[in-house]
Amino acid sequence: MAILIDTSPATAETPASVSNAQAAPQAMNLKLRLRDDLSFTFQSYGERPCYLIEDSLYGNYFQIGVVEYAFIQQLDGEQSVEQAVQVAPELESQQIQQICYWLIHSQLVYVWNAEKQIWFLPKPPHDKVQAWAGRLNTLFIKIPLGSPDRWLNRLLPYTRWLLGVPFFLLWLLICGTGLYLVMAQFDRFVHSASSLLLPHNAFWLLIAWIIVKVLHETAHGLVCKKYGGYIHNAGIMLILFIPIGAYMNANASWRLTSRWQRMHVSVAGMYAELFIAGIAAWIWAQTETGVLNYLSYNIVIITSISTLLFNANPLMRFDGYYILSDLLNIPNLYLSGQRYIRYLNHRYIQGRTITPPQWKPEHTPLIKTYAIASLIWRWVVIIGLLVAANHLFYGAGILIATMAGISVLILPLIRFSMSLHKDPQRGAVLRHLSLLFLFVSLASLLLLTQVHWSRTLTAPAVFDYANAQIVRTETAGFIKKIHVKTGDIVAKDDILLELDNPDLYQEEKDLALQIQHRELRRQHAITQGQLSDAQGEIEKLQDLQHQYQEKQLQIASLTLKANQAGTIIAPDLRDLLGVYTQRGTEVLTLANPQALELKASIPQTDIDAFRAYEGQTVQIYRHSQPLHTFNATLSRVNPSASQTILHPALTVLAGGELPVKPKTQQSERDSSAKKDNSDNYEYLAPRFTATIALSTDIPKNIYAGETATIYLASPPQSLGELLWIGIERYIKRLQSQAT
């Protein structure tokens, strides 16, 4: 996670409710006094000198220009703003009132109340709409855990050697050799990724995350302390209520006059993570499958992903942003970009007459490019999180997404509407927005009705035997004799294997003795003329005879016979000799090895398109032959969906793409099985099964269990139709979740 730095430009905007014409005279008449606990430090960014204001009370830092500094220093409470501005004739009246209101809103000055004859520190303006937006936004949540400064002070003497040049040389050695080891075993490294998302791997992911994030933030703090900084607070950041990272408020790094020192503070977290990744890569390369190997692999993955996607990404206000900002010598790059976005909004969306923000000529294209790129990235992240929230937490996810949507979309519109009421350009803005709305509506209508698109749909598939019969045991017992082997051709009623169950034979003998006993009692009752007792014995005798017949059927089922002619397919059949099997255990398959078919697993969202394609040709892409494809006919789509796994090869358990979850209810046999047994898992959501008939001219080197992907093009539809279909599917999914 990155350092959080609170910087604001000295020329903060005046509240919308106060016009420039009104604000300037009001600001000139104010009497302001700087807080005594503020400290000012002279700094230089490139050729631009500036002053840093440190607000130790709230842990904030602000940068101002030399002219603004000269003006602010005159605010001693003895003279008015109009008198103080005499030392800064370069400042215009609008700039003066902006600076004054910025000082007041930032609580950097006391304001003189002439009526009560007292100095008071004004509270920041309470924006109710903004406050509600913060409460409703559950996408990002920070949980502060206090200041770790005292703990870091104790730790620094023992870790200072980690922050110098000798350790950097060691860092290069470890990271370089770690990268070499991963590249040397890259196939093994990629293959290990198939187990990363398995349910039983979640614990090791959590342990790896805790180790990495604690060391990452500790590195930020130690480097900041090395240069004399103070760590105000640290905590945990939640995204969708999931602890996704940590943060450490190292604002004090802005006191550092050297940008290289500030960059050192910013890069320290990634520096530590990559060193951990190098050590973990060494451990992973030198160990076999096990706990240590799992943990080290997870650490390598977490450090790589978090560094590339988050910490090193300059479009997010994490480590990469602050490094880029210092490299470019633009300390307020993000805020400058925000000013440019606001200008574009005011000028081209609202139609206002407004002066564009001014920067140095060499900085202007960089700021504009960064502003647009960060805006796009921010909305990609927000939309992605809204979609993720909608799919998580079942029904609660919809509520979370709705609350966040209101926070980032609805409430800003309400806030804009409220500020527009007192806006002097209200009429021009409303006219421009009306024309813009009309144009966008017409363009959207044309786009939704006239633009057509044909989607390319895919589904994972596996080759399997056509009309195959899976032979299962009908009774529990020990396999005592196997009459066939893989590849044997058998006829109907041929004996395949025999089981032994001594308990069944004993139960049969016990029932036979009970039948004899009841028969004697029946005959005795008849001899004694006790007809009612005889009738009772007859009923008990019939029940015992029924049980005896069932037991004989069970004993007969200990001999498994072929129900159809075919070829034996059971590579591990001999390993079952002497093994005790439960009822229903799969022992072999009867099939024609030359008669194959392709079975595909289809998500519910694409089922309508696949059903419309029944009887038509689809394209088959074999994973074992990526450069060759062939065509086949989609013969049938099952009418009902199921969460039962079609074939283990399609799931992440065997390196496939379909995610799975443990079954909610398992039998004792399942719970005692191996963790990676596919019988213990099911799809995350119900899926449909489609059968693709293979012709005789298909490639000859196809084997059962081989995976593939099928491709088909959906009929062209307008964007409006696709949007409507998406809405219908979404509503159906909500209804299915509700039931």
CATH number where 116 lies: 3.90.930.60
13 vs 647, residue with greater confidence:
647
Mean pLDDT of 363-386: 89
- Torsion, CA 730, CA 735, CA 738, CA 739, rounded to 10: -140
Segment 151-186, tens digit of pLDDT: 998 999 999 888 888 999 999 999 999 999 999 888
Output the domain CATH number for residue 710. 2.40.30.170
Mean pLDDT of 523-529: 83
User: Percent of the chain, pLDDT > 90?
Assistant: 12
Q: CA of 207: how far to CAs of 159, 203, 236, 294, 394, in Å? A: 23, 6, 15, 11, 26
Going along 66-176, which residue ranges are E strands?
A: 109-113, 118-120, 140-144
- Shared domain check, 136 and 82: no
The confidence band for 278, taking pLDDT boundaries of 50, 70 and 90, is: very high
111 in any annotated domain:
yes
134 vs 699, residue with greater confidence:
699
384 in any annotated domain:
no
The answer to whether 354 and 343 are in contact (CB under 8 A) is: yes
pLDDT > 70? residue 92: yes
Mean pLDDT of 328-339: 86
- Shared domain check, 74 and 46: yes
For residue 110, with 0-12 CB atoms within 10 Å meaning exposed, 13-18 middle and 19 or more buried, which class applies? buried
- Shared domain check, 208 and 317: yes
Structural domain for 631, as ranges: 457-465+595-642+686-738
pLDDT > 50? residue 2: no
- Torsion, CA 307, CA 313, CA 319, CA 322, rounded to 10: 160
The answer to whether 188 and 284 are in contact (CB under 8 A) is: no
Say whether 376 sits in a helix, a strand or coil. helix
What rounded mean pLDDT belongs to the chain?
Answer: 81
The answer to whether 27 and 100 are in contact (CB under 8 A) is: yes
- Shared domain check, 119 and 58: yes
Mean pLDDT of 5-34: 49
- Shared domain check, 573 and 473: yes
329, 359, 384 - which closes a domain: 329
Instruction: Give the per-residue pLDDT at 3.
Output: 32
Please give the Cα distance from 239 to 400 (Å, whole number).
Answer: 11
180 in any annotated domain:
yes
- Shared domain check, 635 and 582: no
Segment 580-590, tens digit of pLDDT: 988 888 888 88
298 in any annotated domain:
yes
- Shared domain check, 535 and 622: no
Please give the Cα distance from 319 to 297 (Å, whole number).
Answer: 24
Closest alpha carbon to 328 in 42, 2, 45, 4: 45
Mean pLDDT of 615-635: 85
280, 305, 329 - which closes a domain: 329
449 in any annotated domain:
no
The confidence band for 260, taking pLDDT boundaries of 50, 70 and 90, is: confident
pLDDT > 50? residue 573: yes
Going along 12-59, which residue ranges are E strands?
A: 32-34, 39-45, 48-55
493 vs 665, residue with greater confidence:
493
Q: Which residues face 691 on adjacent strands? A: 599, 636
- Shared domain check, 161 and 304: yes
411 in any annotated domain:
no
74, 91, 125 - which closes a domain: 125
Segment 399-418, tens digit of pLDDT: 777 777 777 778 788 878 87
Q: How many other C-beta atoms can be found within 10 angstroms of the C-beta atom of residue 27?
A: 24
Instruction: Give the per-residue pLDDT at 471.
Output: 86
AA identity, residue 568: I
Q: Which residues face 708 on adjacent strands? A: 461, 622
- Shared domain check, 297 and 154: yes
- Shared domain check, 733 and 633: yes
The alpha helices in 185-318, defined as continuous H runs, are 186-192, 202-226, 259-286, 291-305
Rg of the chain on CA atoms, in Å:
37
673 in any annotated domain:
no
Instruction: Give the per-residue pLDDT at 374.
Output: 92
AA identity, residue 166: P
Instruction: Give the per-residue pLDDT at 427.
Output: 84
pLDDT > 60? residue 397: yes
The confidence band for 664, taking pLDDT boundaries of 50, 70 and 90, is: low
pLDDT > 80? residue 675: no
The answer to whether 197 and 659 are in contact (CB under 8 A) is: yes
Helix (H) or strand (E) holding 449: helix 426-450
Closest alpha carbon to 211 in 143, 300, 313, 288: 300
284 in any annotated domain:
yes
pLDDT > 80? residue 36: yes
619 conformational bin, left if phi > 0, alpha if psi -120 to 50, beta if neither = beta
pLDDT > 50? residue 620: yes
- Shared domain check, 182 and 282: yes
Instruction: Give the per-residue pLDDT at 376.
Output: 92
- Here the tokens at position 407 are 């926070």
* 94-108, 183-197, 426-440, 525-539: least confidently modelled range: 183-197
- Shared domain check, 153 and 120: no
Segment 55-75, tens digit of pLDDT: 878 778 888 888 889 888 888
* 231-245, 461-475, 644-658: least confidently modelled range: 231-245
291 vs 156, residue with greater confidence:
156
The confidence band for 240, taking pLDDT boundaries of 50, 70 and 90, is: low
The alpha helices in 7-65, defined as continuous H runs, are 20-28
Instruction: Give the per-residue pLDDT at 196.
Output: 60
The confidence band for 242, taking pLDDT boundaries of 50, 70 and 90, is: low
User: Considering its fold, how many domains does the chain have in total?
Assistant: 4
